[in-house]
Every structure is written in structure tokens, then in C-alpha cells.
Structure 1
Amino acid sequence: MIVESVLGNLDELTEDERAGLHLERVPLEGPALRQRVQRVTTDHGTEFGLRLAERRELRDGDILHRDGRNVVVVSTLPTEVLAIAPVSVEQAAFVAHSLGNRHLPAQFFGPEVAFAGLEGHTGVMVVQYDHTAEHFLTDHGVRFARLDRVMELPFRHAEHTH
């Protein structure tokens, strides 16, 4: 079967609508979430072809196929990341500038988003794990945690020139 569009997301369903669904999950890592055309296999061994007409990134819980109570959904796999919690604006600017020069894509989260090992943070910058970034943070005394985390959006490099 070829899937050409996303039918919605599990988060959009009410609790009653979700009750009794039989889920088959398609486990995908970050880069695969951005591919419009690919062959995928569910955790039940069912193969599907994806040929998405819309240019969009897949998200955890996206519904690819539904047949009554049977639903095939995307299951985003955890990514190894560095969650960085600077203690001051100056340290945040220094870290963002330094890691930006390494062209590491980053995502930013406010204090309402919890990160294990960074309790009480005022904001977190998250980058994909990179051993040189880890050494940089350690050498400069920046508070961080190395985690496996399901990211709502995949990391992507921004287009730029120098």
C-alpha cells in the first residue's frame, strides 16, 4: 500500500475516540521524519510505501492509515541530545554563538518543559549529541545533560551563506 497523506494525529482524537484502537507503530528517527518518499515497516511487520504529496515533517502520533479500529501511526524514536541550561544571559549568548559557529541545529524550550537533570532551569537549548560540543560545555562549566529524548520536531540545518 502507498500512503499519500497524513490523516491527522492521535493528539487530535478524544479519549473516547482513542479507546479501543489497535495501534501499529512505524518507528522513525529524525532524518526519516523529513523524507516524503520512503518504505517503512510497522512494529507488526507490515510494509508501507510513503509518497506524501504535502511537504511536511512527520510527527510522533501522525496517522498514516486507518481501517476501522486498526490505526498505523508514526512513532518517533528518541534522539541522543545535549540539553544545555545556561545560568545567565551572557553564558547563553556565549554558548549559542560558539555552538552556532559549529552549525549545530538547535531547539529552544522555556522553563515549563522538564528535562531530567536540569531541574529549575530558566530555559534550555537542545542540540543533537556531539562529542566536541560536550567537551566544550564541560571545559566552560556550562550546565548540561546528555539525554535520549523524543523530539517533537526533527533537527534540521538552516540554509545560510557566509
Structure 2
Amino acid sequence: MVITNICGNLSDPAFRGKRVDALWLDDVEAQKRILRKNTEGGRDIALRLEAGAQLRGLRDGDVLAEDAGTVVAVRLLPVPALLVRTAAAAEIARFCYEIGNRHAPLYAPDGTFSCFAVRYDASLEQLIRQLGLAHEKKDMVLSRVDQLKLLSPHHHHHQNGDA
């Protein structure tokens, strides 16, 4: 089955009560435009997401297909992560700078910007220790919804097609 778009989310009323055939993905797989994988029920799924769907990314509970009372839905796997908590602006700035230099995706899972997560890596854990930041290693879902993005200063946005 080739999937090009997202049909909705399990939280939508239209999908309540339907049987779910889960497509288990980690955070890296959930950001790919092209992927081939089997669902929990054994369905062969080929993802070839259109630009808009790929830009949005796959989120936990996204419905990819529906047939005969069953929906194929994305379920995100927890992965080892480092969770850093700090409210000190200088610590946040230094931490974000160092993570950005390593081009590691950074997440704000609680939306408060006093708690950050990165996928576990021994060198990142060593860096966090060197920075003197309180942290813990924890298995958690890293969702693209919580991923922080920075636009390049060379990236321009125009409204109404103006150049």
C-alpha cells in the first residue's frame, strides 16, 4: 500500500471505535519522506509523502489509511533521550548554542522552554555534564511537534507572492 497523505488523527471523532493497525516508527523514521515498513498486523506500507505532508511530518496517532473498519495509524516509539531542566536564561542559551553546533535535533516536550530533550548520545551526555546542567536519561517519545526550529537569517518569507 502506497501512502502519500495523512487522512487525519486517531483523536478525530471519525476514527473512534475503529480497529488500529499500528505502524511503529521512531522519531527519525517519522521525519522521512520515503519509507517502507510493515504494520503491526503485517501490512506492507510504502510512504511517499507529498511535500505538504512531509513538511508537517508524521505525528503519533496520524491515520494513513482506512478500510473495512480498520485504520493504519502511526505510533511513535519511545527512544533513549537526555532530558535537561533549567530556568536560567544563560544556561538555556549556552545549552541551545552547544546543541545547535552539533546539529542535533532539540525538543521542548512540555512547551515551557525550561525543559529540553535530545536523543541520547554519550558525547551529548558528556557535554551536558561539562555544562553543569541537571539532566536525566529517559525513554520518551520525541515528536516533531515539540522539535525546535530556527530559520536561517538568509531564509526569506514573502506574503501574497511578493518578491
Corresponding residue SS for 1:45: coil
Residue in 1 that maps onto 2:29:
32
Distance 2:144 2:111 in 1: 18
Is 1:98 aligned to residue 133 of structure 2? no
Is 1:135 aligned to residue 122 of structure 2? no
Corresponding residue SS for 1:107: coil
Distance 2:135 2:66 in 1: 41
Distance 1:65 1:3 in 2: 8
The 8 Å contact of residues 107 and 148 in structure 2, kept in 1 or not, is answered as no
Corresponding residue SS for 2:108: strand
Residue in 2 that maps onto 1:61:
61
Residue in 1 that maps onto 2:38:
41
Corresponding residue SS for 1:138: helix
Corresponding residue SS for 1:75: strand
Residue in 1 that maps onto 2:136:
145
In structure 2, the CA distance between the partners of 1:49 and 1:93, relative to structure 1 (3 Å rule), is closer
Structure 1, unmatched stretches of 5+, are 113-121
Aligned residues: 149
Distance 2:148 2:26 in 1: 13
Amino acid at match of 1:68: A
Corresponding residue SS for 1:30: coil
Distance 2:100 2:121 in 1: 13
In structure 2, the CA distance between the partners of 1:109 and 1:52, relative to structure 1 (3 Å rule), is closer
> What TM-score comes out, normalization by structure 2 length?
0.77
Corresponding residue SS for 1:92: helix
The 8 Å contact of residues 107 and 142 in structure 2, kept in 1 or not, is answered as no
Amino acid at match of 1:84: V
Is 1:123 aligned to residue 111 of structure 2? no
The 8 Å contact of residues 87 and 114 in structure 2, kept in 1 or not, is answered as no
Residue in 1 that maps onto 2:16:
18
In structure 2, the CA distance between the partners of 1:111 and 1:159, relative to structure 1 (3 Å rule), is closer
Q: Deviations over 1:21-75 (max 9, x none)?
A: 2110011122221222222201111112222224421111111111132111011
How large is the Cα RMSD of the aligned pairs? 2.7
- Of 57-66 and 42-51, deviating more is 42-51
Residue in 2 that maps onto 1:115:
none
Amino acid at match of 2:46: G
Structure 2, unmatched stretches of 5+, are 154-163
> What TM-score comes out, normalization by structure 1 length?
0.77
Residue in 1 that maps onto 2:161:
none
In structure 2, the CA distance between the partners of 1:90 and 1:144, relative to structure 1 (3 Å rule), is same
Identity of aligned residues (%): 26
